[in-house]
Copies of this chain bind each other. A is one copy, B any other.
Amino acid sequence: MRAEIITIGDELLIGQVVDTNSAWMAERLNEQGIELYQITSVHDDRTHIVNALNEAFSRADLVLTTGGLGPTKDDITKHVLCDYFDSHLIENACVRAHIKALYHDRPDVLNRLTETQWLVPECADILENRVGSAPIMVFHQDDKLLVSMPGVPYEMKIAMTEQVLPYIELKIQNSKLKIIHKTLQVSGIAESSLAIRLEDFEESMPEGLHLAYLPKDGVIRLRLSSYGELSEAEMNAWFERLKGLVNDVLIADIDEPLEVIVGSILAERGQTIATAESCTGGKLAALLNKHSGSSAFYKGSVIAYSNEVKKQVLKVNRESLDQYGAVSEQVVTQMACGVRKILHTDFALATSGVAGPTGGTPDKPVGTVWIAVATPDKVYAECFHLGKLREQVTDRACQKALIGLLRELKE
């Protein structure tokens, strides 16, 4: 079974909104053994949508669309699909009851525009949208399926998880591929050097096994993929062989964000962490508690953007700040020790650097970041040069800090 995604909305094509839906949907489809062939973003325009539908149906068995289902005039997806499948709109009693229940305490929302949301194409199967008013519609064309979902990410995610994937699952029992992706994460080696090291390995790979290199924020993800050609056992054997070849630079052998990996180790051991952040400004904290369950290991942070906060809250020594500057080994280790002591944690991470675009000096150009790791036994700091762009510098600094912590946890 092959799928395509069509995301509908002018906002995507003028750059007002980043399409985060497609990647999330792609991952879910792959987990279900469905290959995603193409993602296409089109305007809220009848001809454009119809052309994209025709092209997608010519290549794929399953077409998922998101967007264009709001009650306002700019949203036309429902009407276009209704005409495309030669149907007409009828009132759906279930959808009506659901919308009335959804907004029972907000009578202002139950207006005549919202009421149009319970008109749906007669030919469509309707799945429940538990958290919104836009109907989830399934259309059949010969043996092919089209599912139309709202573009609001959390509505789409709940719809996919609770309704669409179980629905598709029933339809494709016999046409599922065994799609396997297995990923290693490595750091401290250039992509090209890694590729040279793995040349023999790549030469020896059988047809149907693919290796991809994905560098990001100083970590390279090495992904082995098979679309139905290899068994789980064969994949495992190849994966272990690959792992043996990169052992010295290996960070992780699962495709989880590093904050999830350190979080689960800490939680399992009953240990805790805090951060003291200057240049990363809360980004590292937000990463550590991004995922559910973080209160088991994450206690808090002091974001010490100004030197005043470094001194007053983290008790960084005034002399160190004057003598070495905020971006220094002396200050960043004091920040780590300070926050570890104040928040009573087992570990602490601290960052201090020049995120840019201004603030660089010949000595400490933009991208210079000191990162400290404090453990129950010791504290140390390392200096990195992480690029020129603010976002890149702070993202990479978070990854470097997590890699430092992970190394300590593995010792």
Binding site for B on A (CB under 8 A): 10-20, 22-30, 36-44, 48, 52, 55, 70-75, 106, 108-109, 111-114, 131, 152-154, 157-158, 181, 183, 190-193, 195-196, 202, 210-216, 221, 223, 225, 255, 275, 277, 280-286, 288-295, 298-306, 308-309, 312-313, 342-344, 356-358, 387-392
Min distance, Cβ A132 to any Cβ of chain B, angstroms: 10
The answer to whether A195 and B30 touch across the interface, beta carbons within 8 angstroms, is no
Contacts A282-B301, A300-B302, A312-B343 known; 19 new A-B pairs at CB < 8 A: A15-B24, A40-B40, A55-B55, A71-B191, A72-B191, A72-B213, A108-B190, A113-B193, A113-B196, A153-B392, A281-B285, A281-B286, A282-B283, A285-B286, A292-B356, A298-B305, A301-B301, A301-B303, A308-B344
Report whether A13 and B40 are in contact in the complex, using a CB–CB cutoff of 8 Å: no
8 example contacts (A-B, Cβ-Cβ < 8 A) are as follows A11-B212, A16-B214, A17-B214, A40-B41, A72-B195, A113-B192, A113-B195, A303-B303
Task: Kindly report which residue of chain B lies nearest to residue A284, judged by CB atoms.
Answer: B282
Do A71 and B225 touch across chains, with their CB atoms under 8 A apart? no
Q: Are A286 and B286 in contact (CB under 8 A)?
A: yes
B294 close to A305 (CB less than 8 A): yes
Do B295 and A299 have beta carbons less than 8 Å apart? no
| CB-based contact A303/B282 at 8 Å | yes
Q: Are A12 and B41 in touch, CB under 8 angstroms?
A: no
Q: How far is A72 from B195 in the complex, measured between Cα atoms in Å? A: 6
Q: Across the interface, which residues of B come within 8 angstroms of A191, CB to CB? A: 70-72
Which chain B residue shows the least CB distance to A280?
Answer: B286
Out of B39, B40, B181, B303, name the residue touching A12 (CB < 8 Å).
Answer: B39
Once A131-B388, A282-B284 are accepted as A-B contacts, the answer to whether A195 and B73 lie under 8 Å apart by CB is: yes
Q: Which of B13, B28, B152, B277 contacts A38 (CB 8 A)?
A: B13
Q: CB distance B14 to A181 under 8 Å?
A: yes
Closest to A393 in B: B154
Q: Assess the B302–A302 pair: CB atoms within 8 A.
A: yes
In contact, B210 and A10 (Cβ under 8 angstroms): yes
Give the chain B neighbours of A275 by CB distance below 8 A. Answer: 303
Decide: A38 and B37 in contact? CB cutoff 8 A.
Answer: no
Nearest Cβ distance between residue A259 and chain B, in whole angstroms? Answer: 12
Min distance, Cβ A336 to any Cβ of chain B, angstroms: 15
Determine the distance from Cα of A392 to Cα of B20 in the docked complex, in whole angstroms.
13
Give Cα A29–Cα B294 distance, bound, in whole angstroms.
41
A180 to chain B, nearest CB (A): 11
A44 to chain B, nearest CB (A): 8
Asked if A303 meets B300 with Cβ closer than 8 Å, knowing A11-B214, A39-B13, A313-B313, the reply is yes
Chain B nearest CB: distance from A160 CB in Å? Answer: 12
Q: Contact check, B19 vs A313: say whether CB atoms are below 8 A apart.
A: no
Top 6 closest pairs, chain A to chain B, by CB: A282-B285, A15-B27, A15-B26, A282-B282, A281-B289, A301-B303
Given A190-B108, A282-B303, A356-B292, CB of A13 within 8 Å of CB of B41: no
Q: Which residues of B contact A74 (CB under 8 A)?
A: 210-213
- Find chain B residues with CB under 8 A from A41 CB: 22, 38-40
Alpha-carbon distance A387/B64, docked complex (angstroms): 25
Of the listed residues A30, A288, A343, A344, the one surrounded by the most CB atoms of chain B closer than 10 A to its CB is A343
| Cβ-closest chain B residue relative to A303 | B301
Determine the distance from Cα of A301 to Cα of B109 in the docked complex, in whole angstroms. 37
Nearest Cβ distance between residue A280 and chain B, in whole angstroms? 8
